Every structure is written in C-alpha cells, then in structure tokens.
Structure 1
Amino acid sequence: MDKITIKPTAQEILIKGSGSEGYVDIYSYDFEQNDDKKGLGHLFMVGNIQDQDGDESDVQYITNLIASLAKREYYAQGDIAPKLAFTNALKKVNDVIDEFFKNKNLQINAGLFAIADESIYISRLGKFKIYLARDGKNIDVLNNIEHFSKEHFEERKFSNIISGKVHVGDRVLAFYPNKAVTSRERFIKADFIKFDKTSFIDKINAFKETKKDFACGALYIDVNQHREPTVRKTRLKSETIKLNPEHGTPILTAGSKTEATINPITLAVESREKQINPVVTHETSELNIDIDNKDTKQEIPKIIAAEFLFGRKGSPLQSLLKNIHISDFNPKKRLIIGLAGIVGIAILIGLGFTARSVLTTNQSDRQLSDKLKEITKNIGTAEDKINTSDFIDARNILASSYSSLIGSGYYESPKVKDTLTEISKLLDSMDNASEASVSLFAQIPENNGLVRLISNPGDEIQAVLTSKDKSFIASVNASGDVSDAVQIIDITPNSLLSLLGSSYDVVSDDTGLKMQVITDAKTRLIDLPADKPMKDGSLYEDNLYYLSSDKIFKIVDVAKNGKEPKIWSQESISINNELIAVDGNIYTLGSDGIYSFYFMGKKKFDKNIQISAQKGDILLSTKDGKYVHLIKTETGRIYDIEKTTGNLVKTIKINTAAKILDATISSSEIIYIATSDNKIWKVAY
C-alpha cells in the first residue's frame, strides 16, 4: 500500500535590480533521500542583507552562512519533532547574528520557514512577507504582526514562531518586500490568486521590462499530494552482539552491518563466580533468540534472605524481636522491647506522613502537568486561528488559558511562567502592546475586608469589600484604611457605579434584576422588570444607562426617586452587546468584536475591532477624554479605542501575578485597578 504525504514543490523567482536595497538570495533544502531526516520536510529562506556603512563586500557571505547554519541545525537530529528542530535552528542562527551586529552596522531582513508534511512553521527577522492561496482566497499569513513589525524593524533576532496547517492544493508565495515589490503588491496579490505558476512568474518578469531597476526575491511553492511505496525492511539474519564489559560498547560478532534498532533484548544471566560477560542478541519475528553461552554455565539466582517471604523484606525491628525469646524475658529486656516498639511506631508514623506528602505532591504535579498539556493544545489552536485571521477566537482562547494559569496557584512554577510568557508573546504579536506605568495606590489589610469592586476615584476610592460573608461599601484611602462603611443587604454585588463628587452609589446584583442605591447610609432597592435585565451599566449626570438583551434603557434621576427603566435607543441593538460606556454619547462593545457609537438615540456607526467583550471585562470613558478604554481582566491588558472612529490606538499590558477584579477611571484619565491580592493600583498614561 502506498504512503500518502504532502510535498511542497518550490520555484525560485530571483530578479536582480540596481542593488540599492542590498543583496537578496533564496534557499531551499530537503533530505528526501534520507529516511532518517525526510520527516523534517523542507526548509526555506528568503534573505536580504544591507550594510548601513555601504560595505557590500561580504553581505553575500552572511546570507549564505545564516542559511547554512539553519540547514545544519534543522536537520541535525532526524528523530525529533519538526517544531523543535525549527526552534533549535533559530537559536543557533540567533547566536551568530548577535556577533554580526556587534561588529557591523547591518540590517538583516530574512524569512525562515519549514514545511513538514501538513505543518508549516515560520519566523522572520525584519521585513518579510508570506501569502497563502487557498479556495480562491489570499491569506496574508503574517498580517497579525504587521503592525508589530513596523515598530520593531530593528529587532535583531528571530523571535516568534508562527505555525499552522497547509492543505493539498495550497500555494505559498514568500518574498522580501523591497520598495519595488511593495509598490506593486496589490497587483501581485491579485495575480497570485488569478494565475497558475507559469503565468504568474511571467507577470512578475514583465515588471522588469517596464522598470529596469525592478528587483524581486521570492519563492513560489505548490503544495501537492505525494505517494510513495511503503518500504519493507529486509529481515535480518541471526546475529549476536557482545557488550564490552568496561564501556558497554556493542561489538558485532555475526551477520551483516545494519542500522536497524535492536528491539527487545535478552541478557544471559551472569555467573557471580566467573564474572562472565553478558550477551545481547537480536530478536525478529522469524528467528528464535540466540544466546551465546558456550563458555557460560547459566545459574538460576538464589534468594538467600529469609525475609523475602511473601515478597517483603523484614524490618530491623522484626529481626530484633525474633532474636528475643519469651523464656529470656526480664525487666531490662522488657524495657528494650518497649523502646524498640516506640521507635518502630514513630518510624511508621513518619513514613506515613512522608508517603502522604509525596502522594499529595505527585497529585499536584499531575494536575499541573494535565493543565499545561491542555493549555499547550489551546495555544496551538490559537496559533491556527491567528494564521487564518480569526483574531477574536484567538484572543478569547489565549485569554481563557492565561486566566486559568494566573488563578491556578502554580504561578511560581517555571513551566507556568514560560507558558504565560508564550501566551503573552502571541497576544503581543496581535496587539503591539507596551508596558504600563503602574504604581500602588493602596494595600488593604485583610481585616478591613477583601476588595471586590471599585469606583469613583479621588483622594479616596469607593470599594465593595467582603468580610465574614457580608458585603460593605466603604471609602478606602491610600493607607488602606476603611471609613463610612455601609452594609449591602438583599443582593449579591456584581457591579459598582459612582460619579465623581456625588454622594451616592449604585450596586447591581449578579442576576441583573436588582439594584441598590446607597445614599448617606440609606439604601433603596430597585427591581427591574424580568424582560429588562441589566448586562452592564454606566452613570452620567445622575441618570443610569444600561444594556439589556436588545435595547438600551435609561433610569432618570436614579439618585433620588428614579426607578422605572425607559427605552433610550430608537432602534434595536445587537444582542451580542456586552459592555457600555457613557459620556454624553454612548459606546458599546459586543462579544463579536463590534464597537458601536451612538448619539442622540441613534447609531452613528459599527466597527469590528477584532477584540471581543467577555464576562468580567470593563469599558470606561470620561467626558473630555479622546478614548474609550477596554480593560481585559483575564489577560491584564488595556485597549485604547478612539471614540469617534473606533480605531484601536494603543495597547498596554499590566504585568501582575494577581487577577484583575475591577477597574475605574478618574476625570484626569488615570485608571485604577483592584487585584485579587487586596491591592488597588494606579495606571498612568
């Protein structure tokens, strides 16, 4: 029966230009004739080197060296997974690149990628692009890090590995985007989908006729189905291998040389008296096991110690008791036996605690191992989503994985930290995130209660605290001291809404059907209609605006006697909407990533920002601010969205080991976050 695999067939497109943008070359490797290494598939590189000092004397040598090192390291071990081999190759190349940057003023642009059966692994340094044509569509494989690359062209190492799947019939175009190619990229993309390989290459060559200094370095790859006959290995003749007693080196004593693996092996029993060398023989389905024992008399090992009865060895205590006969008992011996018994019991108790500790540790390790296996699988799924531009699902998968590790109790484990770093890098590849400037506002002593929700920041901040199964709303100062505490009754707090300078707070419950208005230690309960539950709400000028299933409702003058929700929106809204922010205008964000802008009861526009609203996320804005701030509590990231366009302007990440519980914003655009370690932080822009 034939073996069916996927095989890429590459065509190089190399058109020399004026050389003003440095030296470009293309490399492709495979080991199809080597059975041990053919599983690693094909390795490709498109490279461009530019010497900023104008010395082009050895840039070709540098390109060749990088490609050769990558090839040597990638195919060094044929028995490892392609992704691991690819990672090893990048590490080796990065070591060499470091040395070049120390001694030369270079700009290196290179794309390195491998196709092994149906998997593709890609990494790049500087400028590099790769398109995949599938089912009549053109996929920009690296478009998720296009924004990232613009900010990091000076990055001096291969870093992220993008991985995914290729299918039979796919076509891949990998190239260095020089100025001439970039200016024609729109036409190149269209032609790549429209024409077959020959016609497409003719189109590329035609550019040279119209522009003499046009240059192009690209690889055009067809992904085809490949059949090869299944090879049956020749069965081996009986052969005996002796092990050198000093070094354990196998010495072939009969039969022909072979690279076959020695399958189950049988050792002759070694005579204790004669110290006879052990003998190893091959075992095949045709041959009996052949042991060379001409000079060896086999002996059956004898069990000498009587304590092996029932397969268990006796303890020293048992041996001591056996040597004491009942007829010999006297007071001194009684004392000895008593002490021996006490020591024995103590030893047994100690062994019991040790065994319990070991079992608990092993169980904990197994749980962590299982969790990491699951998350590693999720990361692979997220990478596939990124490769197909499904950024919403990719972010959601990564956010869920990140949150489960942060809250797992294993945060100090090196493996967990490595996994969190891997998740962060994938998120960074989509977000172009920068580090936040964070400072501690307050550390709340646990005897003052555990912080759950925060709002209304100023010199003090309003917070919902829990203590002994009771919830309170109180003011917290920078020292963590609590004052003006009022107990919240009849509801389980889910959100806290306050206005800066106001004397009231609105607390909603987790059902979305009850709210409690707290004013000067007095409370008033509002019951919402069953068909108008609240998903998320926001206060503006003493009016409460909230999202329901497909409407935006408004409760007028909620601080005083307002309690009846009235429809604010003049049209139905998406049922996917999850978050709302109000500053005179209204902004919403849905689980489908749709950002909406409303003015005077009417929707002005929708925009897919490729970031979904999830449970626990927070949307904040101020009246005079330019941005709506989306706080992703699972991943500790803040996304700044321009109010009037929906453009994602900035992303910052908050590196905290504790989970984010809630967030609020001051009139001066300082964001405050509460974390599960009972701290409140200030995030300044």
Structure 2
Amino acid sequence: MEKISLKPTTNELVFNKKESDGSFFDAISYKEPGLKGERLGSLFVIGNIKNSSDADLSYVINLASSIAKREYYSDSSLKEDPKKAFEKSLQKTNEVLKDFLNDKNLKIDLALSAISGSNIYISRIGKFKIFLARNNDTIDILNNIELFNKDSDYAQKEFSNIISGRLYPGDKIFAYLPSRTLSVREKTIKKSLLEESDLGFKKMLSDLYESNPKFYCCGVHVVMDEVKEIPIDASNTINLPNQRHSSESILKEETIKEPRDTKEETITPEKGPLDSKTVKPNNDAESVAKEEKADYSNKKNEYDKKEEPVKSIPVSDEVDTPRLISSEVSLAKKHNAISNTASLVAKFRGFNRYNRKTKASLFVIIAGLVVTGIFSFIFFGLNDSPFNENTQIIKKTQENLKLAQAHVTQNNLKAARDLVATILVDIENINDKNGDALKAQLVEFVNGINKVSQQKPVQVADLSELWIEGETASKITAMNDGSIVAVSNNGRVIITNSGSIEEIGSSKSTPKTIFRTEDGFALFDGTSNIEVYKNSDDELKLNDLGNSVMFKDYTLYADNLYAIKGNKIVKYTDVIAGGDNETTWAEIEEDLVSIAIDGNIYGLDSNGKLITYFKGEKENEAVLSLSPNNNSHIWTEGDFPFIYLTNTQTGEVMAFDKETFELKITYSLNNGSPVKDIFISEGGIIWSLDNNNAVWKLEP
C-alpha cells in the first residue's frame, strides 16, 4: 500500500569559515544510503571551536562529526530505536572529546541533531539556536525549555540533554550557532525562513555576506517534504493526516538518570513545545546507562495524539538474575560441562525438531569449532602476540586514514597532513604484508595532497674520500661555476669541482650555514662569527658581530645579514666587508621560525603562516596548511618565482608561488639515506647532502 513519509531537504550554510579571532566553525550533514538511511534518517553536526593558544585545533569539529556519524550509523544502531542510536552517538562523542571539553583554553560550541521519519532529536554543548517556521509563525524552540537552560555550565562540559519531538510536512528549520552578525538580523532571518524557499533563504544569507565581508554564519536549513513511497520497512513509514498542526507541543527534552532510587517519578511538562529527559554525565567511558528497550514497531508516529506525562524510568547497569521456578529445576538430574553445553545448543531455534542422531552430529561439529577457536586464540589471539597487536594498530590506522580523507574533503589539509604524519610513526615497525601495503597507501595519499613530483635527484659527487677518518660533511653550497663548497664536522673547508680538490683551511667556529657571495662564500655560526672567503684573497677572514644570542634563523642579502632575534628582525649592514652595526629592521608579533629575502622579507611562523614584510611593516599573510618543525626553512632570491620550504627531516622541498602562495609542486630528495643539508641555486636547482657524504642534484 502506498504510504506517505517525511524527507528532509538540507542545506549547509557556512560563510567565513575561519574568523579573524582564531575560531573555526563548520556545519556537516550526513545521510547513509540504503537501509541505514531509511531507518535512521539524517544526522547533522554544527560546531565552533576557539583556542586561546596558537595551536590549530580546527580538526576537532571534523573529529566530532566523524565519531558521531560512525556511531549513529553503526550496524548495532540499525537494530535499535533511532533515539537510542542517537544517545549512543552522544555518549561516544563525549568520550572522545573529553580532554578537549575539559580544556580551559578551548571554547567549544557543538550541536548534534538527527531526523528520522517525523522524529527529531537534538543535543548541544554551549551556544546553539533553532528557529522553527510553521503555520505562519516562527518560534525559537530552545527558549521554551527551562530545564535545558538551567545548567549551562554542565552543558559546556559534555552532551547532557536530548530534545525530541515531531515534525510535520512543510516545517522549516534553521539551526545555527548564534553570533553578533546574525543576532542583529534576527527579524530578517525569521521572516525569510517563514516566507522563502530553501534556495531563497540561502540567497538571503549569501547577499548579506557579499554586502559585508565580516558577516559570518554557520548553520543548517532543513525543509520537511511530504514523499509518497512504497515502504521497505513498515516501522520507517509515516501516515500523515491531512490537517493543520499547531506549533505547540512538538518537542520534549529527556534525561537518562543513573540508578540511585528505583522509585518511579512522574514529570508533567508545562504547556509549550518541549518537555525533557536529561543525560547523566558518564565519567567511565565504558559504562553506558542502559534504558529499557521499547517496542519500536509499536511506536508509530501519531500526529494528533495528546501528550501524556513523561515518566522518568530508572536505568540500571546491573543484569537481573532470572528467578528460578521449581517446576523447571530437576533434582534428579546432575549437570556437568557436556550437558550444559548441550542445553545451550538446544536453545537454538529449530534444534529440537532433529532426531537424536542428527543432534549428536551437530554437537560434534560445534564442539570441533569450539576447540579450533580455542587453539586459534592460543596461537594468534594472546594479548602479547605481535600478530594481535599489529592487527589492532592496522585497524586503527585504517580508521584514521578515513578521517584524514574527510579532512581533505573539508579542505583542511593541515589536519590531514598532521594526522597522516602521526599514523606513519605508529605503523613504522610493522613490516608484514598488511603493514607494507598500508604504508604504501598512506604515502600515496600524502603525495597526492603535496603534489609530489616523480622526478628524482641524481648523485653528482661523493665526498667520502675528502675527509680523514671520523670526518663527515656537515654543510654544502654550490657555486656558479658548478664547484661545491663543503664544511666537515671538524670545521675543515674544501672546494671540489670535477674531481679537483682545494682545501681552504679550518673554521674557527662551528658553521651552521654557508652563504654564497658575489666573490666567494661566507660561513656563519648562527650567533656572532661570520667567516668570509673571497676568491681574490684566497683565505678565510673572521668578522665578529659582537652578538651573544643564538638567532632563530638568518639570511644574507646584498652583503647585509638579516636575523630573527627575539620579537625583532635585526639587520647587520655590510657584514661581508667587516660591518657589525646592528639595527632593528622590524618589530614582529608572530613567532617566526624562518625568514627569506628578495627585497621583501618573508617569514614563516610556527603555525604555518607565511607573512610578507615590506620596509619593516607586515604587508600580507597566507596559511600554508602545514605544521613547521625545527628543520623547516624557507628559501628564495630575487629572481626566483617560488618560495621554497625545505625540510631535512622529511627530505622534501615544497615550492609555493610567490604571488598567490599556492603549493605548486613538492620534490622528494630521499634516496635511502637521511638528508643532512639542502641548498637551492639559480633556476631552482636543488642540491642535497646525505649522511653517506653523497651530494645530489635535482634540476627541474
């Protein structure tokens, strides 16, 4: 028979996803295909996170949505009432986000909602609003729940309440995170929600954003449409009466209490759209309050049914012991392990219809399977078994890979890169077939994000024969004539070109870098000593800058040294000619980890921002969606079209467009030996030194 059901049409409405004050927000909707979607309906996650520290925690919203989705659409949820599945989803989300929610440096607003058939379930942490448009009226439904608003501090720490109710054909909902830019336009939003279609409402918000770039919004717009269909599952089908419905008495809010008092208690809700049931905080992640299971097939949606007082039923984690009935207990029959097993087998449906011989055969088969399972556990399932441990790690890694892929779809490349870097470390010591296949999958995934080139460097020199025993090359640079300047770990400086070797002498310090100059090169120890070699002088000359502080990073431009010193960029004028005068080039607020110069100075901060400075003032900035470390260094020169980000730890060089800061390509320098030093010369030629004293060249 043809049935009429409700289907939500959903629009995610997000404008200005990342605010200038460091907060991040997003709205995400899910609808599983097939039976799960038919039975459990749609799931919505709306969240905002603001961090008082510099760490980028925007991935927390995606983490929450992924956990909620996985739990809500799990196979076990398919067998339960959608409301029970929603409760389990909240409890699992509380468990995973516990540390974030208890962090005083974080401010989190997060709302989860599910719509299954005509039923809606809502829970929130922090600030959240829902407008409902029905029968030429628009109401703020959360303002009608006194109980929900009583304990705001408690609500900040975890999901504690579920609001549930019924929806009708033509209902329109706008669920959103409240903000100043929306609050001042509340009348306009209510009017548009009531009068406009879903596309018209979206256009209204889009016009507000285009007229005011500072306007921001994060929410979900839902329209409940009436759909005729042939039901697959009768429990999912809704018979809709053809009459108008009041905006009154549509939602109720409910709480699950832990068993302290088994006395039944009746709560009569006040007149209004909501009554309540509160979720008790679950301090033990494994302990979940269990509610008596309702008969879902009898819970048809009756739109005109009068509301009755809601009873709070205590729920116990304890399992009741069945009461023995005398007629079922045989004193003459003595039970043992075999008879108990046979009795258990007999409980299977249809077992008793077999004759005694068939039962005996089945018992032997089942006993054999049990013995096989025991031996399998002994050999493969012990807690200290490498097989079992590796399987768990691989399973966890596969789940994290899916989460990283979700980050990419949300254009959160930084979170994806950070997550994959972590899980690569987790599976580093798994060397079986499954582990190797997963590593290859992860590498392929990262290479796709980073636009890794297939081009590989070529070895051009082996410096092993240039050093005495115990000596290795530590730093290199390449000159215009193709010769290579190298410094050993003992400070010995040599120049080699096509097999010829020239020893320059020994450094009086420990050089951290080698600068090229117009007439030679200069060694710098990162603090005070700069040693200059000119082809015309044929010797190293020391210039002491008189500085006692180790610079965070430094670069040479037009014979002037620029360095990060505390919260300043300082300049030493004409150091190649012996100058040592220090001046402040710029005061900076950012935590810079590296600088490069081509007339402008570019700074990379610890959060992955690339900032342009001109004449001592910040001119521009862009987010590179990555996490720098102590081995990250940016590199450019006046005629370079790119800003290069080098990293000796990963052995990679990333090229960003100097105008748009877009990642164009990444080069991998790994050739089986860790990379020790990287230098880039004219034309973007990349030179690298590995731990085996080999020099490599990659020419794009």
Q: Where on the TM-score scale, by shorter chain, does this alignment land: which range?
A: 0.3 to 0.5
